[in-house]
Structure 1
Amino acid sequence: MTQEYTAQSVTAGEERHRPESRVRVLFDRWRRDPGIWRRGIITAVFAVATAFLMMFHAQIPNTIGNLGSLTETFLAWVGLMVPLLLLVALVRRSATALIAVLLPAIVWLNQFGGLLTDKSTGGGDFMVATHNVNADNPDPEGTAAKLTESGADVIALEELKEDDVPVYEKALAGTYKYHSVQGTVGLWSKYPLSATRPVDIKLGWVRAMRSTVTTPEGPVAFYVAHLPSVRVKLHAGFTANQRDKSADALGEAIFDEKLDRVILLGDLNGTVNDRSLKAVTSQMRSTQGAAGYGYGFSWPASFPMARIDQIMVRGVEPTSSWSLPRTESDHLPIAARVDLTQS
């Protein structure tokens, strides 16, 4: 009798410790809880508000501190609210909040879930790279060496300090026979350059350029640009007006480009989600979005939070996109492979 009772107790004890049994007990407890639907209303409201923020970010006005652009720059990070709200819903034992949290989770996955998959297709025998090298870079020679090691056919550099230009020219000369520096931006290429000129982006000094690279597959128009920096200030919000005017001017230059194949390399100081860059993004494809893996955040290098450095194409098929190893700059260099025979 004692042995039978003991065996039954052991069996019951094992049953209680099975994972599925614990889950069943939890749900049974929640089902009998009369407040399960009444609790968590505030959490549910926050969940719905988070979903609406992601769904209708384009409706946030830029008239006050460029709030819309600021939101769009870091829009992907809004998704962090989902696990936070889920945790609160579980702690509060609120079915209402749990159901509400599904809404921002679905919206985020719809908008950004695709970036979690590898979209590279392989192939693409032409490689390009771009890097804001930082005017205060303490090791320009080492930075140039790392970029050379990438094997890129064409490299664009931004934020070139006049005193450092000879250092980059010397360090890159062995691999890149052709180059041009216009103001604070430059283009280094294994193939001949022609029709090189500054591009006026309404700044009063040169921070953008255009050049034709004669690749093995024919001429390709390359643009290099470093749009003005933006700042987040308590009294002024997201100060991006000058950046926005420069983006419009750059977009006009690219729109007027006669060649069918165009590649833009540079630091645009904004993400492709930012509506203020639509003059550029509306007519070009981001290699990261089309053929990259993950978000490809490039700034700040110590803890990347946004992809403000861009490789964008028109009339060219991107096949892969990725970040290169960190240099002494505050930006990560980025690279992409493209197929020049397809569009």
Structure 2
Amino acid sequence: MSGAESTSQVAADPSAARSKGKLFDWKLLVGILVVGLLLVLSLFTGVYDIFGADDGGQMFAITRIPRTIALVLAGAAMAMSGLVMQLLTQNRFVEPTTTGTTEWAGLGLLAVMILIPGASITTRMIGAVIAAFIGTMVFFAFLRRVSLRSSLIVPIVGIMLGAVVSSISTFVALETDMLQSLGVWFAGSFTSVLRGQYEMLWIVAFVAVAVFVVADRFTVAGLGEEISTNIGVNYQRVVLLGTTLIAVATGVVTVVVGNLPFLGLIVPNVVSMIRGDDLRSNLPWVCLLGIGIVTVCDLIGRTIIMPFEVPVSLILGIVGSVVFVGLLLRQRRRG
């Protein structure tokens, strides 16, 4: 059964979404336990000897705990953003890094740093969120006005738009001697996450709650404007809300952590292949798997060339690109 067919059943019978899959079951509890163990391992992985050093406890509170919390919030946020974006575009191959949303957020961050050199992290976040919102709306507007015969073309178009925005950011950074800063922002690393610098990430927890509350409306909107309107859902309002939530999550994560490529692509597709397309019951799994993948990649990055670190975006990029190509080939075989 296709995603559209399963979603149409939900629209026809709202109780179908609730009966299709339990929100909490023993498998989810096992998943929570496994991810919890990974997070505990993250707390005690690192070069600094938190047990032997005199200030080990202080360093543990300043660096290890914030970093682990950031892994949870950033991983869940980007995985969830990919899920919502795929529903609204009716395309399984889109997510913030294949639609240019992340590149727009970086451009907004760069603009704020140029116009307001001493900007606080809140101001930088607002600039990134506004730019991410504009970029996502540009992508949605393009999809509405251009008829693409193949769903495989959509992410390619998004990547091309993102490349254009990235080129503009690079040119501006070169002209303003901020190229090195731009590279650091897009590194996608948790190395610099410290107490006092990550707290803005808690905003994405509220975004996750909002997505869960309006999950049924996002599911209906995934059927398209005509069907949504016929059953009494304001399609434009739902798309605007979804775009806002995606922009907030992407902007905050970009400012605090950087680019986390393909995470929103991998996780929703894996969960959908196993559990189907019910957004409400899939959301805990999407968040959990996003956290687990980011944590594993971060642990690899911390240990592979210890005492140095490899940015988590590098590990995610390798894994994500392989999965992305695999999904494209799978879709092509299906016709």
Q: Which has the larger radius of gyration?
A: 1
TM-score grouping bracket, smaller chain normalisation: under 0.3
The structure in which a higher percent of residues are helix is 2
What TM-score, normalized by structure 2, do the two folds share? 0.24
With the length of structure 1 as denominator, give the TM-score of the two structures: 0.23
**Richer in strand (by share):** 1
Higher relative contact order, structure no. (Cα contacts within 8 Å, ≥ 6 residues apart): 2
